Amino acid sequence: MNAFCEGKVAVVTGAGGTLCSAIAIDLAQKGAKVVLIGRTREKLEKVAEEIGRADCPQSAAVRLEPGDVTDEKAMQEIADRVAAEWGPCRYLINGAGGNNVKAMPTRLRFSEADYAPTADFAKERGFWDIDLEAFKSVLEINTLGTVIPSRIFGLQMAKAGGGAILNFASMNTYRPLTRVAPYAMSKAAIANWTMFFAQYMAPAKVRVNAVAPGFMVNERSRQYLMTPDGGLSPRGEQVMHHTPAGRFGEAADLLGCVNWLLDDAQSSFVTGITVPVDGGFLASAGV
């Protein structure tokens, strides 16, 4: 086992989710002191329980820090507590983010119906029917929800002599998939932010990279990629048609790339990049 993070502090935001919970558990199994940040304590408790059942070395530890990553004051308080009790953050995984169905049209192309937008959310929705406040909230959680923890924990890393930050991009970083305009905008921004912050933090020996997961199986994706009986929905069929690997991804598929990008011994000269982990989705034209 490559225990590059043994005894070091790893902060994971969005830690209650399928992908980031797997990363948190993996880091704990490598001996890290893992800080779980998320808005829902119950989800964090479940991840902590899984870590408790895992085969972790004595150096491993876990703590729950419920909080909103867009709340700078709350994030600073968490960072200060962690530093006082465990020492400075060495690894930051910016996994918090999300989408909002109220910012998603159901109609995919402009039509005459767009001339008469409706406030009735139960009806078919075009772009002019979506909730602009929901649109803004998606931009905020996915952009400022990465920038704020990066500012706070990145400064800790700089003062301590270095560290590694891992951001979460998406297939939407490269292609604006239908119906998710604010999510796509924000995930395109993450790749740009990753490059900006990587060059800015290089003198402080803080590396900044990102992963772009392909279509992974989690609670949210099951709803639009699969049918209730486990088959493929029409959208799932489209995705599979564009995925040479012939399957959806699992959380475990991310771990090798994540470990490589965090481990200074393996990627000390790697910063400012976004790595797709997508089963070939971006390589496929679909024809």
Residue 76: φ, ψ to 5°: -65, -40
Q: Which strand (E) or helix (H) includes residue 59?
A: none
Annotation marks residue 91 as catalytic = no
Picking from 270, 255, 278, the residue whose alpha carbon sits closest to that of residue 93 is 255
Picking from 145, 169, 159, 9, the residue whose alpha carbon sits closest to that of residue 72 is 145
- List 115, 174, 183, 224, catalytic entry: 183
Active site residues: 183
